[in-house]
Structure 1
Amino acid sequence: MDIKHKRFNRIAGYTLLELMIAMVVGLFLIGGVMFTYLSMKVTTSDTVEMGELQETGRIALDILGKDLKMAGFFGRLNIYSLTTADVSGVTAPAGDCIDEVFSIGSFPGTGAVPNFPVIYGLEADSANELGCITDAKTGSDVIQIKRAAGEEVSGQNTQTGQYYVQTTLSDARFIEGDSNPIPFELGKGVWPYEHLVYYVGEDKYTSGGKEITVPVLKRKRLIGDQMQTESVLEGVENIRFLYGLDNDGNGDVDEYLEAGEMTPAHWQQSGPTRIKTVQVSVLVRATKEDNNIQLQNKTYTLGGDAAATQRILTGADVPGNYRRMVFVSTFKINNAGGNQWLIAL
Structure 2
Amino acid sequence: MKKNQTYFLQTGMTLIEIMIALLLGAFLLGGVIKIFVNAKQTYGMQEGLSRLQENSRYALEILSKDLRLSGFQGCISITDLTPTNTATTAITSPVVAPAISSPTPATIIVGYNGSEASPVTTTWSPALPSALSGLATPITPGTDVITVVFGESCGGYLSADMASASSDIQISSSNTCGIVDGDPVLISSCSNADLFRATTGTTSTLIKHNAVSLPATCASPPCYKTSSEVFAYRAYSYFIRPGASGEPALWRYDNTKAASSSSNPVEILDGIENLQILYGEDTDADGVANQYKTAANVTDITDVASVRISLLARTSENLASQTLTYDYNGATGVNPGDRRIRRVFNATLAVRNRLQ
TM range (shorter): 0.7 to 0.9
| Structure 2 residue 288 is matched with structure 1 residue 252 | yes
Aligned to 2:326: 299
Residues 1:224 and 1:39: Cα distance change in structure 2 (over 3 Å)? closer
CA distance in 1, matches of 2:342, 2:147: 26
Residues 1:121 and 1:326: Cα distance change in structure 2 (over 3 Å)? same
Aligned to 2:151: 148
| Structure 2 residue 205 is matched with structure 1 residue 165 | no
Partner letter of residue 108 of structure 1?
S
| Structure 2 residue 113 is matched with structure 1 residue 123 | yes
1:14, CA displacement in angstroms? 0.6
Residues 1:300 and 1:2: Cα distance change in structure 2 (over 3 Å)? farther
Residues 1:20 and 1:35: Cα distance change in structure 2 (over 3 Å)? same
Does the 8 Å CA contact 1:82/1:116 hold for their aligned counterparts? no
CA distance in 1, matches of 2:81, 2:4: 118
In terms of fraction of residues, the more helix-rich structure is 1
Question: Percent sequence identity over matched residues?
Answer: 24
Does the 8 Å CA contact 1:197/1:221 hold for their aligned counterparts? yes
Aligned length: 297
1:278, CA displacement in angstroms? 1.3
Aligned to 1:4: 6
Partner letter of residue 149 of structure 2?
K
| Structure 2 residue 86 is matched with structure 1 residue 88 | yes
Aligned to 1:16: 15
Aligned to 1:314: 334
| Structure 2 residue 243 is matched with structure 1 residue 203 | yes
- Structure 1 length as normaliser, TM-score? 0.76
1:124, CA displacement in angstroms? 2.9
CA distance in 2, matches of 1:60, 1:118: 20
Aligned to 2:101: 107
CA distance in 2, matches of 1:225, 1:249: 38
Structure 1: where are the runs of 5+ without partners? 97-104, 206-212, 303-309, 339-345
CA distance in 1, matches of 2:266, 2:76: 29
| Structure 2 residue 195 is matched with structure 1 residue 192 | no
- Structure 2 length as normaliser, TM-score? 0.74
Aligned to 1:218: 251
Does the 8 Å CA contact 1:289/1:321 hold for their aligned counterparts? yes
1:234, CA displacement in angstroms? 1.0
Partner letter of residue 76 of structure 2?
L
1:245, CA displacement in angstroms? 2.3
Aligned to 1:285: 314
Aligned to 1:181: 207
Residues 1:194 and 1:327: Cα distance change in structure 2 (over 3 Å)? same
